[in-house]
Structure 1
Amino acid sequence: MRRLTLETVRVSGRIHHVRRFFSAGRQDAPQQVPKTDQQAAVRSRFDRLIERTPRFLRPTVAGLRQAPVTHVTAFIILHELTAVVPLLALAGGFHYWGWLPPYFTEAAWVSAGVEKFGRYFRRKGWISEKDETEVEERVKQAKAGKFEEQTISMWSDGKQGATSWVVEFATAYAIVKVLLPLRLFVSVWGAPWFARLVVIPVGKATGSIFRRTKS
C-alpha cells in the first residue's frame, strides 16, 4: 500500500511537471502573428486615404478595414488607376480635338487644377512664370474656353502648346475629382477579383524571385 502510494506520488509529480511545461509553452507562444512592416505600411496608407475621403463616402470604403491586406492593396492600386488613366485620357482627348467642356472651364472648376499643373509645368521648365500667371488669370476670368481656342496646337512644342496643356490637364483633373464617388465604388467592388487575379499572383512571383536570388 505504501509502495503504491509512492508510485502514485511520483507519477502525479511527473504529470504535473509535464502540464507545467506545456502550459509555459502556450504562454510563451504568441497569440497572434505580428503584422509585417509592409502590411502595416499598406494599412497606414489606407487609413490616410480614408481620412482624405469625403465623410459621406467613408462608410463605402471603411468596410475594407477588416479585409485581407491583399484586398486593401488591390483597392489602393485601383483607386490610383481610376485617377491616372482618366486624367491622361481626358487631357489627351481635349488636346487632340481642341475642345473643352464649357461647364467646367467657365464655372471655375479648373482653378485648383490650373494652379497645381501650372506650378508643375513651370518647375519642369515647360512654361515661364509669366505664362503661369497669365493662364491662371484667364481661368479666373472664366475665359479658359476662348484661351484654349487661341492657343491649341496639336504638335506644337512652343509655349502656347504647353500652356494649353495646363488648361487641359486642369479640366481633366476637375472631372476626375467629380467622378470620385464612382471611382471609389469601382475600386471597392473590384478589389477582391483584382487581388485574386493580379496582386496575389504578382506577390507570389516576386517572392519566388527574391528567394531564388538569395539562394
Structure 2
Amino acid sequence: MAPSRALPRLPSRSHFFTPTRFSTRRFFSSTPPPAGADISARSRLQKFNDRLPRFLRRYTTPLLGAPTTHITSFLVLHEFTAVAPLFALFAVFHYSGWMPTLTSGEGGAFNEAVQRFGKWMTKKGWVDSEDAEAAKTASATGVNGDNSQLVTEQKGVKLVFEFAAAYAVTKALLPLRIVASVWATPWFARVFIGPLGRRMGRILRKRST
C-alpha cells in the first residue's frame, strides 16, 4: 500500500482577518527606480516634498521611490487641483457677488495674492494700475471679502479681490488636494500617463528609423 501523503496545511482564520492599517506605501513600490528614469520629474517632486509640512510628507514621500509614470501623474494632478479650484472659485465669487471674509490666518495668503494677481492682471490689461494699487491698499488695511464698500464700487478692485480670495481658499485646501492627488495617482498613471508615454515612444522610434 502506498504511504499516505500528509494533507496540506491550511492557513488559520486569523490569516484571512488580520487587520491592516491604511498606508500610501501599498500604492507605490519602495524598490529603486528603473534605469533611465526621468531625473527632472523626480527632482521636482523632491523639492516639492521638502517644502511640505511634515504631516503631509507621509503621503508624498513613498512617491520618491515610485516609477516615473506615478511621479509624473502626481505632479500633473497636483497642478490640476491647484488650477481648477482657483478658476472655479473665482467664477463662484464673481457671478454670485459673494466672497468669504477671510480670517487672520488666511489673511497672509490673501494679501500675497492681491499683490501677485494685481500685477498679473495689470499686465494682461484686465484692470488698471490704479485699481491694483487700491486693492493692495485695501488688503493691507485689513479690508477683505464682502465687508469692503470699495470692492463693490470699483470693478477692477473687485476682480483682484475675487482672484485673491479664490487663491487663499485653494491654498487652504492643500492637505485635501495632496491626499486626493496621491489617491488618484495609480489610476491616472495606468489610464493616461502610461499609455501616452508608450504612444509617444512608438512615434519617436518611427521617426528615428
Unaligned runs of 5+ in 2: 1-32
Give the deviation of 1:101 after TM superposition. 1.1
RMSD in angstroms over aligned alpha carbons?
2.2
Query: What residue number does 1:150 align with?
Result: 153
Give the deviation of 1:105 after TM superposition. 9.1
Query: What residue number does 2:119 align with?
Result: 119
TM-score using structure 1 length: 0.73
Partner letter of residue 148 of structure 1?
A: V
Query: What residue number does 1:88 align with?
Result: 87
Relative to its length, the structure with more helix (as a share) is 1
Provide Cα deviations, 1:64-119, integer angstroms capped at 9, x if missing partner.
Answer: 11111111111111110110000010001111111101235996351111011111
Q: Is the 8 A contact 1:75 1:187 kept in 2?
A: yes
Aligned equivalents of 1:33 and 1:192: distance in 2? 17
Aligned equivalents of 2:84 and 2:201: distance in 1? 28
Query: What residue number does 2:131 align with?
Result: 131
Aligned equivalents of 1:106 and 1:63: distance in 2? 30
Provide Cα deviations, 1:34-63, integer angstroms capped at 9, x if missing partner.
Answer: 425xx0011011111112212221222111
Partner letter of residue 152 of structure 2?
A: E
Q: Does 1:65 align with 2:68?
A: no
Deviating beyond 6 angstroms after TM superposition, the runs of 4 or more aligned structure 1 residues are none
Aligned equivalents of 2:182 and 2:106: distance in 1? 31
Give the deviation of 1:142 after TM superposition. 2.9
Unaligned runs of 5+ in 1: 1-31, 152-159
Between 1:67-76 and 1:54-63, the stretch displaced more is 54-63
Task: Call closer, same or farther: CA 1:105–1:47 in 2, change over 3 Å.
Answer: same
What percentage of aligned pairs have identical amino acids?
38
Provide Cα deviations, 1:13-43, integer angstroms capped at 9, x if missing partner.
Answer: xxxxxxxxxxxxxxxxxxx96425xx00110
Q: Is the 8 A contact 1:106 1:142 kept in 2?
A: no
Task: Call closer, same or farther: CA 1:41–1:196 in 2, change over 3 Å.
Answer: same
Number of residue pairs matched by the alignment = 173
Matches within 5 A, 1:2-13: none
TM-score using structure 2 length: 0.75
Q: Is the 8 A contact 1:104 1:171 kept in 2?
A: no
Aligned equivalents of 1:128 and 1:47: distance in 2? 39
Which structure would you say has the larger Rg? Answer: 1
Aligned equivalents of 1:105 and 1:187: distance in 2? 28
Q: Is the 8 A contact 1:98 1:148 kept in 2?
A: no
Aligned equivalents of 1:163 and 1:201: distance in 2? 45
Query: What residue number does 2:36 align with?
Result: 35
